[in-house]
Amino acid sequence: MRNVTPDQINKEADQSSEGKRSTSSVVASLMDDFIRIPGTDIRFGLDPILGLFPGLGDTFASLVGVAIINEAGRCGVSRKTLITMALNILANAAVGSVPVIGDLFSVWFKSNRRNHDLLQKALSSEISPAEREKAVRHASRFAILLIAGVILGVVLIIIGSLALLKLLFQWMSA
């Protein structure tokens, strides 16, 4: 994973031909590294802040992160890359469901920045226009299924967390 300097946040090189930043760039910056702790190189975004709100915060952060998978699917990246992106989001959601530890994990792991970097790496590989068109058709369909799977996985993580919390409260009151 690359180190991001403060100057790179506002000057991303991956801009579209219209001069606008890509969705993945905006999501990665906003969710993972737009706030810098003064005097350090530690950066974080809204992801760990949203994680402070049990259940809803991690769910919202995961749903925002799905936008990068959607963009990757529209760009025709490989299934392996899409699956890796989905696993990054699910890992962040699973560990993020643990109070405090999950938020610290989000500061370190930066799932959206990882996914943005995976997308940029996949787009930098040279393939023919015909191969790219075929890849886009297949990846788009697969990305939709994968996004549904990620959403289901996040919902199951939340349900499991709530069930464990209920058991913990029952155990403590007994």
Tens-place pLDDT, residues 76-90 = 899 999 999 999 999
- The pLDDT of residue 47: 96
Tens-place pLDDT, residues 88-110 = 999 999 999 888 999 999 999 99
Residue 7 has pLDDT above 80, yes or no: no
pLDDT confidence tier of residue 141, bands split at 50, 70 and 90: confident
Exposure string (b/e) for 110-148, b if CB count within 10 Å is 16 or more?
Answer: bbbbbbbbbbbebbeeeeeeeeeeebeeebeebbeebbe
Neighbours of 91 (CB within 10 A): 14
